[in-house]
A and B are shown apart, each in its own frame.
Chain A
Amino acid sequence: MKKPIQRSAYILVAIVTLAFVAFPLLVDTEESYLVYFFFMCFIYVALAQGWNLVAGYAGQASFGQHAFFGLGAYITAITWKAGWTDFLDPVAMTLSGAGAALLAVVVGVALLAKLRGDYFALGTLGLGEILRVVFTQGGTLTGGPVGLLLPSSSYQSLGPYYFIALTIALFTFLFVWLLMRSRVGLALVAIREDEQAAASNGIHVLKFKILAFAAGAFFSGMCGSIYGYFLFHIHPLGFFSLNWALLPVLMTVLGGIGTLFGPVLGAFVLAGVFELANLYIPEIHPMFSGLFVILVMLFLPQGMMSLGGKGVLARLFPFILGLSNQRERR
């Protein structure tokens, strides 16, 4: 029989999902700014959850998510322009994720076998920069520094974008949830805690690290794809921007690294703070947003989920903590 705490968690996830599904049906998607805001939040959730899997659960901090994000966007744009895929085509989005995952496997074999810790993080940071230059010099295939212009007349409504991004976010959430409940998840946590001990217990360390890295890249590639469809202009400066690597890190750390709900909470809170700052104090919003991040890091270095340990969150949402603290109970 399921524990009450788990049942509550399932109910919570179902209620939140239903609320998000119902929301755009209750408002005018072309009028409501919240639809756009949630669309961006879903992208951030998927990106942050992807990074959380690699860094939070597998213990391999990567700063190369922007490489996979940009690659995903370019795969979508190139296949669409070539006529192989269509507007908001699931095949293109899957290909974008798969392409990013494939790159992660190729790069991961080289990097993860040799580097760990800070060195691995710096290595992945270089990957994004390399791809930016490659795509800037990519000639007609990538459009060079101009990038690829997509037919913006295809846009009909924000609704489909919202639901696709929600699906991607849910998919990443469920994927990480199920993965961490499986033997693979156990192996990843073992690797994070002590690689040598994990290896001596028969865990193929490199294989599992690459698996996590590729899964994180897959999510980033899909996010790049849907965002590319949204902007209709894919270019190296915007899509290989370091923001796409740093924001997921910030959101995950803010919410709570190595927890299932941390990236979700972090993505919504940080995006919300940035949004409000941009709306009400447009000229100095980076200062305010930066100050907010500093304060959180000062007072909540373990992220917002750590509030649970102090009793407040635990009393309010015990079921959330039941899920997020699964790794500790293991």
Chain B
Amino acid sequence: MKRRISYKKVFWLGFVLLLALCFGLSGAAHAKTEKKADKKEILIGTNLPLTGILSMVGIEQRWAYETAVADINKAGGVMVKEFGKKLPVKLIVGDDESDPGKAAAAVERLIKVNKVDMLLGGFAAPFGVIPGCITAEKYKKYYHTSICLIPPWLEHKFQWSTVFFFDLDQACSVPYEMWAKLPANQKIQKPALIMEDSFDGRAFAGIFRKLAEKYGYKFVMDEPWAVGAKDYSAQIIKAKSLGVDAILIFGADADCITFVRQMKENDFSVKYMHGWKGTWAGEFWQALGKDAQYILLDGFWSMDFPFPGAKELGERYYQKFKKYSVSVGALYALCQILWQGIEKAGTLDPGKVRQAVLDNEFQTMMGKVKYDKNGVAIFVSTGSQWWDGKQMTVYPFELTTYKMKLAPPWKER
């Protein structure tokens, strides 16, 4: 006999869900409101792209934050003078779904429901960081961030956040500095600029063009490419017909992987290919294997840096994921700055912690860090080359002994 559906149960399920929402949200919020004397932990929130198009890159960021939290807790926590004791740190991660609106919602939730004391930044200016900063600004919570281009961040004149990132001019000068080191018979003659048609892509493209003039280069091909397009053969054939010998490319991981695969399918190779954003994650190597060999990538950090803990952190990351990272050190350093900032402020008051971050110099895995009065601290954008699954640092020159190799044609690899 056919069983009848109990509509009554379904209705009550919905009703209970709604009630649970009201109690869940208000209950969670109240439970986390602690009195000063009862303060047992420092609550740090962060909005990360756990789902959506940026979820791949969010993995490294999360690991770096969680590792920094585990390490500080292992050392007993962060000393907060106001409470006269060391407090452990608890990290609460909210999913921003790689969407600016959802990022704002995630930060609202972290501030109002989870009652976090302050926040660590999300990923990428338009998707996670700027909406996070705006929301934190509304509620006067400190948003301590990285991975955000500085000019659009400065445009907002934020009073409740700080940013720790590279200078765009410096990052875009890396390939030109690399080309300047090439022997005369291997000089780049016909470079191409292929930049994602997006917030960050356009910002990079403008600087690359400006610097090309300064360094004496002219792009024989300069085209934007759409996010998430699946067929790049038209651009590849055009580049091939123009005799392009170097490509500077900015795009998402998946797009860069597709682009390289289609380059190989069209038997088109260039001796120098340098990517930003989409070529640095370990997933790029995992997807392409040896086809990723010779490709250069941007980065924030290297485990070869001569700063305390850098090598160990890189090894721990490798132990966990069996791949290397050029970002986790910078994000770990971001946490180190926050812990030291709290200790120097002696309180969890967001405004005072931010002021302490602005006023002091910090010893981190990225070396010494000092913020300016606008809340900006700069680090050097690195350049690396994929070699047997590892990102070998090629820039800054003074921090490496590895020599960059030019790529031979596909059939000779």
* Residue positions of A touching B, CB distance < 8 A: 30-34, 36-37, 40, 136, 144-147, 149, 152-153, 155, 158, 227, 230-233, 235, 237-238, 241, 243, 268-269, 272-273, 275-276, 278-280, 282-283, 285-286, 299-300, 304, 307, 310, 312-313
State whether the Cβ of B104 lies closer than 8 Å to any Cβ in chain A.
yes
| Contact A136 B197, CB 8 Å, known A147-B126, A286-B51, A307-B10 | yes
B109 CB contacts on chain A under 8 angstroms: 33, 278-279
CB contacts under 8 Å to A, within B119-157, are 126, 130-131, 134, 137-139, 152, 155-157
- CB-based nearest B residue for A298: B5
Q: Would B126 and A279 count as touching, CB distance under 8 A?
A: no
Determine the main DSSP class of A at the interface with B.
helix
Q: List 8 A-B contacts (CB under 8 A).
A: A33-B109, A34-B22, A36-B108, A268-B18, A278-B94, A278-B95, A278-B105, A313-B11
- Given the interface contacts A149-B155, A276-B20, does A37 sit within 8 Å of B25 by beta carbon? yes
Residues on A with beta carbons closer than 8 Å to the beta carbon of B130: 233
For the complex formed, measure the closest distance between the CB of A114 and the CB atoms of chain B, giving whole angstroms.
29
Q: State whether B101 touches A275 (Cβ < 8 A).
A: no
For B, the interface residue count at a CB cutoff of 8 angstroms equals: 49
A155 touches B99 (CB 8 A): no
Q: Is B24 an interface residue (CB 8 A)?
A: yes
- CB-based nearest B residue for A137: B197
B14 at the interface (CB under 8 A from A): yes
> Nearest Cβ distance between residue A162 and chain B, in whole angstroms?
13
Contact status B93-A282, CB under 8 Å: yes
| Secondary structure call for the B interface | helix
A33-B108, A282-B94, A307-B7 given as contacts; is B126 within 8 A of A235 (CB)? yes
Residues of A within 8 A of B134 (CB): 152, 231-233
Q: Given B21, B26, B126, B197, which contacts A275 in the complex, CB threshold below 8 Å?
A: B21
Q: Pick the contact of A231 from B101, B106, B156 — CB < 8 Å?
A: B101
Give A158's nearest chain B residue, CB to CB: B138
B29 within 8 A of A: yes
| Residue in A closest to B94 when the chains form the complex, CB atoms | A282
Partner of A233, one of B5, B21, B93, B131: B131
B138 to chain A, nearest CB (A): 5
Whole-angstrom distance between the Cβ of B160 and the nearest chain A Cβ: 11
Contact of A237 among B7, B22, B94, B126 (CB under 8 A): B126
Q: How far is the CA of A151 from the CA of B126 in the complex (A)?
A: 15
